[in-house]
Structure 1
Amino acid sequence: MGVRIALVAGEASGDLLAAHLIAALRARLPDLHCAGIGGPKMEAVGFEAWWPYDRLAVHGYVDALKRYRELSGVRRALLKRLLDDPPDVFIGVDAPDFNLWLEQQLRRRGVCTVHFVSPSIWAWRGGRIKRIRTAVDHMLCLFPFEPAIYDAAGVPATYVGHPLADTFPLEPDQDEARERLQLPPQAPVFALLPGSRESEVANLAPLFIETAKYLLDRYPAARFLVPLATRETRVLFEKAQYAAEAHDLPLSLLFGHAVDAMTAADVVLVASGTASLEAALLKRPMVIAYRMGALQYRLMKRMAYLPWVGLPNILCRESVVPEMLQDNATPAALGEALARWFDDADARRALAERFTELHHTLRQDTAQRAADVILPLIGASRDS
């Protein structure tokens, strides 16, 4: 019988990450069988999805509470299936709130467990390291500073790089992106990315629209690109635009195409999150903005360990790009910060050099390095 690996990926990013990993493993193990919870990209490389990954998708704490019984039922059904016929290795791909409990139960019963993508214990909720220690045989880390945290806690961990660094070009082609998006070659172009979640867009869309107005007064030839991930977020942005009476803004809404928009842009205004790392890998100057409910912000601020929220600053370990949060995020403040980047070519070049160094650090052929770690674990599990 061939090698059998169970995987759980809980969202689109995990589906892509797991698909690359499965392909890398299958190249070395032609008889590999992978099954569990996943998405279309995993299925395209031969994964058997017992449940689709969108069954695990939740949007915030309220949605998670509403769907707790459903999610718990899926998790217990999956656990029973895995215990009835144990895999050689279980790999939880991100989704820590779902996967760590599952990994803990499986490991107690002798199944080797790997968690792919470290939770952000370095940013907040550091107490999760205790649970991770009981749940995970090996942690695969996307950022170079993470393994030391796990080593200190007695959890085997390996830095495997970030998959985005493998796929993004070291030298993005701005001219080609502008041509594809039919933008004037010499126009000032600003990409506005208000987030992928509906709550983020609801909080940030009015602010970003007012910031665009501020910039248009300063740069009358400016163009604005707003890539949005879903139909729901597009509707939210359009409502905010209508309420702001901003119909005449030279603003283009895009379905997806976030990478194209940032590549074409001179400067990026971005919500805190993975998109800020994408902007860094595209060597774009940026301003990071975020707003949330006052109570939630006070709670998050009290729980945070680092002076930054943006991944570019966290990875560079200093404030290389401005972060403007809550009351500090005003149209004038954001507009001035974006204008400073646009007007200072030397600062843009220096930042691009810094981001190129970061890109090389993160570019590690993630799927192959992860496979290198997992293959010996399969052998150990099968020999035990």
Structure 2
Amino acid sequence: MASSADISLALVAGEVSGDMLASRLLAGLRPHLPQARFHGIGGPRMMEQGFVSEVPMDTLTIRGLFEVIPRYRELKGIQNRLRDRLLAERPAAFIGADYPGFNLGLEEQLRAAGIPTVHFISPQIWAWRGGRIKKIKRAVSHMLVIFPFEEKIYQDAGVPVTYIGHPLAEQIPLQPDQAAARRALGIPLDARVVTLMPGSRMAELKYLSEPFVGAARLLAQRDPSLRFVAPMAGERQRSYFNDLVAKAGLSDVPVQLVDGQSHTAIAAADAVLAASGTATLEVALFKKPMVIAYKVMRASWEIMRHMGYMPWIGLPNILAREFVVPEYLQHAATPANLAEALWRQLEDAAGRDRLKQRFTDMHHSLLRDSAAASADAVLRVIGSKT
């Protein structure tokens, strides 16, 4: 076997969630490949593991179907330049961390040239665009999946697959400490707290900031003692959020903005209003009641609403196979609807207890040593483990 100093692994993550997932994989790989070069496109968590990002990850972050069109040439140029570098370099493997629109196309070209490819995590072919399994079979040497039901899908399709559990299930304690979270945020222990999570992407903030803060205003009218917390992914997101709230005439709503600390903000909450995405799974793992909202550009919505296979879009509901928490999509995601749904959760102690048990069971089903399992699969792919 070659020395780890001779091994190069290329990775691409295009979003915050992919950065988190890939960082766990890198943490598992580094003890086995202490001198290997990890490079490509990634975020701060990956860089903490010694990863070298050759393009800022934010450059790739886009949401929605039509939003990509103005930037298609730019993104295609990045993809082509990266492909050419990797074809010249011949890394031991390429690993795409989620972001399938970019990564699967790149993986298909690299695999055709003889470079092993690993995709981490599965696109949601069980929710929509199931036809992508054909492209995945061409593009992916090995698929890493984070939900138990996904393993059989790939086994049936003849794609090598490993279920590694969900990294978030390891990071989030089975019994979160609400009191400690409130102390960290300076919130009274006896307060009732609603956490607003309108998203980390600029497009999410564009469409969800106003209805989320509008819902907070309506809730505050019902109970002026309610506390509202909103974690911001960075200064750029905070500034944009504040601008949107001001333009909507909602600057008077007392929302406490915190930099990062999304897990602390969730742990402190009695209920959470969350944009659809990985954040909803985080909320479930913290065993918190939640309301899920989703809004995109109208043209994107008109296409996407006809393409889904499931009645749910929120990960907790998909994993539970039923509506355990409410979802409000597009035009239904109004301040009034969101506020009313949150109020019902705040007032329903028995419902909160039932959700806590469902989410505890879900947590156990997702709990594995994901760093070790994903690293083991990659090491097998590159022939560094027999």
CA deviation vs aligned residue, 1:89-130 (integer Å, no higher than 9, x gap): 221211212221221122112222111111111111111111
Counterpart of 1:32? Answer: 36
Q: How many aligned positions are there?
A: 382
* In the alignment, structure 1 residue 121 sits paired with structure 2 residue 147: no
Q: 2:190 maps to which residue? A: 186
CA–CA distance in 2 between the matches of 1:246 and 1:33? 48
Aligned-pair CA distance for 1:319: 0.7
Q: Could you tell me which residue of structure 2 aligns to residue 288 of structure 1?
A: 292
Q: Which residue of 1 aligns with 2:165?
A: 161
Are residues 1:351 and 2:355 paired?
Answer: yes
> RMSD in angstroms over aligned alpha carbons?
2.3
Give the Cα–Cα distance (whole angstroms) in 2 for the partners of residues 63 and 295 of structure 1: 10
| 2:317 is the alignment partner of 1:313 | yes
Distance in 2, matches of 1:151 and 1:196, equals 34
Q: Say if 2:108 is the partner of 1:104.
A: yes
* C-alpha contact (below 8 Å) 2:292/2:314 kept by paired residues: yes
Question: Which residue type is aligned with residue 214 of structure 1?
Answer: L
Secondary structure in structure 2 of the residue aligned to 1:27:
coil
- Structure 2 counterpart SS, 1:111: coil
Query: In 2, Cα distance between the equivalents of 1:232 and 1:54?
Result: 11
Corresponding position of 1:373:
377
Report the 3-state secondary structure (helix = DSSP H, G, I; strand = E; otherwise coil) of the residue aligned with 2:124.
coil
Matches of 2:80 and 2:219, distance apart in 1: 52
CA distance in 2, matches of 1:58, 1:291: 14
The aligned counterpart of 2:307 is 303
2:277 to 263, 269, 273: 273
Post-superposition shift, 1:233? 3.4
Residue in 2 that maps onto 1:331: 335
| Alpha-carbon separation, structure 1, partners of 2:208 and 2:87 | 45
Deviation at 1:52, TM superposition (A): 4.0
Contact 2:266 2:286 in 1 (8 A): yes
Q: Which amino acid aligns with 2:230?
A: V
How much does 1:328 deviate? 2.7
1:89–1:292 Cα change, 3 Å = closer
Of 169, 175, 184, the residue aligned with 2:179 is 175
| Deviation digits for residues 324-366 of structure 1 (CA, Å, limit 9, x no counterpart) | 2233333333222212211121211111111011111111111
Which of 237, 241, 248 does residue 245 from structure 2 map onto?
241
Cα gap change, 1:271/1:48 in structure 2, threshold over 3 Å: closer, same or farther? closer
CA displacement, residues 194-239 of structure 1 (integer Å, 9 cap, x when unaligned): 2222232222222222212221222221111122223343334334
TM-score for both structures, normalised by structure 1: 0.92
Alpha-carbon distance change, 226 to 117 in structure 1, aligned in 2, over 3 angstroms: same
Partner of residue 18 from structure 1, selected from 17, 22, 30: 22
CA contact (8 A) 2:66 2:299 kept: no
Matched, 1:6 2:10: yes
The range that moved more, 108-117 or 251-260, is: 251-260
Residues 64 and 297, structure 2, Cα contact 8 Å, conserved in 1:
no
Q: Runs ≥4 in structure 1, deviation > 6 angstroms?
A: none
- 1:172: Cα distance to partner? 0.9
Task: Give the letter for the 2:315 counterpart.
Answer: L
CA distance in 2, matches of 1:202, 1:363: 34
2: CA distance between counterparts of 1:374 and 1:70? 30
- Residue 206 (structure 1) aligned with residue 210 (structure 2): yes
Distance 2:210 2:330 in 1: 13
Per the alignment, residue 231 of structure 2 pairs with: 227
Report the equivalent of 2:219. Answer: 215
Do the aligned partners of 2:62 and 2:203 also contact (CA within 8 Å) in 1? Answer: no
| Amino acid corresponding to residue 163 of structure 2 in structure 1 | Y
What whole-Å deviation, never above 9, does each CA across 1:128-157 have from its counterpart, x for those lacking one?
Answer: 111111011110011111122222222111
Distance in 1, matches of 2:238 and 2:34, equals 43
Q: Check whether the contact 1:188–1:219 (CA below 8 A) recurs between aligned residues.
A: no
Identity of aligned residues (%): 51
Question: Which ranges of structure 1 fall in alignment gaps of 5 or more residues?
Answer: none
Counterpart of 2:89 in structure 1 is 85
Moved more, 34-43 or 362-371: 34-43
The AA in structure 1 aligned to 2:296 is M
Instruction: Confirm or deny: 8 A CA contact 2:65 2:300 kept in the other structure.
Output: no
